[in-house]
Amino acid sequence: MQNFKKEELNTLLSDVDKELDEYRAQNLSLNMARGKPGKAQLELSNGILDPSLLGSFRSECGFDVRNYGVLDGIPEIKTIFSQMLGVPCENLIVFGNASLNIMYDYIAQCMLFGAGGEPWAKQGGIKFLCPVPGYDRHFAILQHFGIEMINIPMGEDGPDMALIEEYVRDEKVKGVICVPMYSNPGGVTFSDDVVRAFAALKPAAKDFRVIWDNAYCVHHLEENGDTLLNVFEVAKEYSSEDMFIEVTSTSKITFPGAGVSVMAASKANIASVKKRMTVQTIGHDKINMLRHAAFFKNYDGIKEHMKKHAAVIKPKFDLVLEILDRELTSLGIASWTKPKGGYFISLDVMPGTAKRTVELCSQAGVTLTGAGATYPYGKDPEDKNIRIAPTFPDLDELKTAAEILTLCVKKSAVEKTLEL
């Protein structure tokens, strides 16, 4: 914007205001705030509700899934998750519908009972490293437990590992929480070198943990999607398997409100979690596990199912990216990611204007994730990152929302340049 003359900026501002006034007059209510599947995606899984999938209600191990028991999940669903994550069945525990619950419970366990050492709560002043921009719900869990969060910048191949290696020399640094594939919101997949650097970490804290939230491991938008190195295979080379707690779920594969989630971990960590679970529960929803296993049959069934998801949502990503490119590229006031998978586009606007942009969108009837949400404590140090979630609206609504967003990006940039 520095190359624009003042008169040109004022003309642009006037034009943008006229367009925004037209949208405001429509009293719109459009939402790109959360990464929710749209109706067409949800309907892809309606078949999972077919009662015939449950047959005699018997698992292949002979267990009646209607009853108490099988604490760590039935073998059919374990086998599918084993194929999906490349982790042996004995290193898996199957839970309810949300991997977020797994992460919360695991952090709570570490706070109350430790991770092979003294409870974190008794140690005091503990810290976690948080790649940014990142997932707001990760930050909410850590903040809930009073864990100090430290920003780690993300690059094109993952977080700054040199900085992580420096921070882990502090024994108060107890872990990292991250999305290693199609990260939220940047869509970054950690490179092989980054995964190896994680496995090779030598933290001062013997109870150090990496929460490996592999939420989007099958959520490709393209045939030639990204690949992620299996961190447990690499960790064997460094005897660091105990550092990693991996989670994923079917929440955005079938129904977010009725999915199945899983933890993958070392033998020692699985034993520790199961010991706590024997007090906490007698087992999760095994009827749901059985119908998921019967619906997909195997990992190939999940891969075919995810191609249907991609056919629904890739046009939405393409539409938003086309509008961003058409409206903003020539102005040089913003940049954005072009992910090969996942659920988000990360938009960086002119520093100092993200909050204003989100505010302007709200005034025009478009709800976005709050500016700052992609950073710990809701504090984006440059006030520039906005998370775009294209999946929930239909294409017509999405087109309108994206056009309003670009107008608001322009308006906030002009205001900033003119210091209005």
- HSE-up (13 A, CA, CB side) for residue 223: 0
Is residue 378 assigned to a domain?
yes
249 with 317, same domain?
A: no
For residues 264-273, average pLDDT: 98
CA 106 to chain centre: 17
**Structure tokens given for 299:** 């990992």
Domain coverage including residue 263: 53-298
For residues 9-30, average pLDDT: 95
Whether 161 has a pLDDT exceeding 90, the answer reads: yes
Is residue 45 assigned to a domain?
no
Q: What is the pLDDT of residues 379-418, one digit of tens each?
A: 999 999 999 999 999 999 999 999 999 999 999 999 999 9
The set of residues, in sequence order, having a beta carbon less than 8 Å from that of 330 and lying 6+ positions away, is none
11 with 118, same domain?
A: no
pLDDT band at 3 (very low <50, low <70, confident <90, very high): confident
Task: Output the domain CATH number for residue 374.
Answer: 3.90.1150.10
Whether 279 has a pLDDT exceeding 80, the answer reads: yes
Residue 264: phi, psi to the nearest 5?
A: -115, 135
The total domain count for the chain is: 2
320 with 287, same domain?
A: no
- Three-class DSSP labels, the chain: CCCCCHHHHHHHHHHHHHHHHHHHCCCCCEEECCCCCCHHHHHCCHHHHCHHHHCCCECCCCCECCCCCCCCCCHHHHHHHHHHHCCCHHHEEEECCCHHHHHHHHHHHHHHHCCCCCCHHHHCCCEEEEEECCCHHHHHHHHHCCCEEEEEEEECCEECHHHHHHHCCCCCEEEEEECCCCCCCCCCCCCHHHHHHHHCCCCCCCCCEEEEECCCCCCECCCCCCCCCCHHHHHHHHCCHHHEEEEEECCCCCCHHHCCEEEEECHHHHHHHHHHHHHHCCCCCHHHHHHHHHHHCCHHHHHHHHHHHHHHHHHHHHHHHHHHHHHHHHHCCCEECCCCECCCEEEECCCCCHHHHHHHHHHCCEEECCCCCCCHHHCCCCCCEEEECCCCCCHHHHHHHHHHHHHHHHHHHHHHHHCC
Report the C-alpha gap between 420 and 400 in whole angstroms.
27
Is residue 125 within 8 Å of residue 172, measured between CB atoms?
Answer: yes
Report the C-alpha gap between 391 and 394 in whole angstroms.
8
154 with 250, same domain?
A: yes
How many Cβ atoms sit within 10 Å of the Cβ of residue 158?
Answer: 24
Q: What is the pLDDT of residues 309-348, one digit of tens each?
A: 999 999 999 999 999 999 999 999 999 999 999 999 999 9
Q: What is the pLDDT of residues 340-376, one digit of tens each?
A: 999 999 999 999 999 999 999 999 999 999 999 999 9
Is residue 41 assigned to a domain?
no
Report the C-alpha gap between 218 and 191 in whole angstroms.
17
114 with 67, same domain?
A: yes
Is residue 381 within 8 Å of residue 375, measured between CB atoms?
Answer: yes
330 with 384, same domain?
A: yes
294 with 308, same domain?
A: no
Please provide the average confidence, as pLDDT, over all residues in the chain. Answer: 97
60 with 16, same domain?
A: no
Which region holds residue 377: left if phi is over 0, alpha if psi is between -120 and 50, else beta? Answer: left
Q: What is the pLDDT of residues 38-90, one digit of tens each?
A: 999 999 999 999 999 999 999 999 999 999 999 999 999 999 999 999 999 99
Is residue 46 assigned to a domain?
no
Q: Which of 30-39, 183-192, 207-216, 295-304 has the lowest mean pLDDT?
A: 30-39
**What's the confidence (pLDDT) of residue 250?**
98
**What's the confidence (pLDDT) of residue 359?**
98
Residue that is last in its domain, among 298, 330, 361: 298
AA identity, residue 387 = R
**What's the confidence (pLDDT) of residue 237?**
97
Question: β-strand 92-95 against 366-368: which pairing, if any?
Answer: unpaired
Is residue 314 assigned to a domain?
yes
Q: What is the pLDDT of residues 224-252, one digit of tens each?
A: 899 999 999 999 999 999 999 999 999 99
Whether 2 has a pLDDT exceeding 90, the answer reads: no
203 with 81, same domain?
A: yes
AA identity, residue 5 = K
Residue that is last in its domain, among 298, 322, 356: 298
Is residue 213 assigned to a domain?
yes
For residues 204-210, average pLDDT: 98
Question: What percent of the chain stands above pLDDT 70?
Answer: 99
Q: What is the pLDDT of residues 98-136, one digit of tens each?
A: 999 999 999 999 999 999 899 999 999 999 999 999 999
Is residue 173 assigned to a domain?
yes
Is residue 128 within 8 Å of residue 174, measured between CB atoms?
Answer: yes
81 with 190, same domain?
A: yes
354 with 257, same domain?
A: no
Task: Output the domain CATH number for residue 101.
Answer: 3.40.640.10
Residue that is last in its domain, among 248, 269, 298: 298
For residues 172-180, average pLDDT: 98
124 with 205, same domain?
A: yes
Is residue 393 assigned to a domain?
yes
**What's the confidence (pLDDT) of residue 4?**
85
